[in-house]
Amino acid sequence: MSTTPVIEVERLNVKYGDFHAVKDLSFEVRRGELYALLGTNGAGKTSALETIEGHRTPSSGTVRAFGHSPRERREVRPRMGVMLQESGFSPDLTVRESVRLIGKLTQRVDDVDRVLDLVALTDRSGRKVAQLSGGEKRRLDFATAVYGTPELIFLDEPTTGLDIQSRDDLWATVDRLRENGATIVLTTHYLEEAQQRADRIGLMHQGTLHREGTVSELTRTLPAVIRFSLPAPAPALPLQAAVDGDRKVVIETFELQKDLHVLLRWAQDQAVELPDLEAGPTRLDDVFRTLSS
Partner 1 sequence: MFPIAASELIQIFRNRLVLITSLIIPVAVCVFFVRQHETFAAIGSLGYIAAIVMFTVAAFGLYATAVTTLASRRQNLFLKRLRSTATGDASILAGLLLPVTVLALVQVAAILTALAVVASEPANVVLLVVAALATLTMMIGLALATAGLTNSPEHAQVTTLPVTLGVVAVASWVGVSGTEDLTLLKRLLPGGSATELIMNAWNGGVAVTDSLLLLAPTLGWVVIATALATRLFRWEPRR
Residues that bind partner 1 (CB under 8 A): 16, 53-55, 73-74, 77-78, 82, 84, 86-93, 97, 101-102, 104-107, 128, 144
Closest to partner 1 by CB, 91 vs 235, is 91
Give first-to-last CA distance, the chain, whole Å. 34
User: What Cα–Cα distance (Å) separates residue 173 from each residue in 31, 39, 139, 256?
Assistant: 18, 25, 11, 36
Residue 85: CB minimum distance to partner 1, A: 9
Nearest of 221, 197, 226 to residue 287 by alpha carbon: 221
Residue 63: CB minimum distance to partner 1, A: 15
Residue 105: CB minimum distance to partner 1, A: 4
Closest to partner 1 by CB, 103 vs 286, is 103
Closest to partner 1 by CB, 107 vs 165, is 107
CB-based contacts of 8, cutoff 8 Å, min separation 6: 28, 62, 63, 64
Provide Rg for the chain, Cα atoms: 23
User: What Cα–Cα distance (Å) separates residue 213 from each residue in 28, 36, 112, 190, 276?
Assistant: 11, 10, 37, 18, 32
Residue 53: CB minimum distance to partner 1, A: 7
Question: Do 202 and 35 touch, CB atoms closer than 8 A?
Answer: yes
Residue 54: CB minimum distance to partner 1, A: 8
Closest to partner 1 by CB, 39 vs 150, is 150
Closest to partner 1 by CB, 91 vs 280, is 91
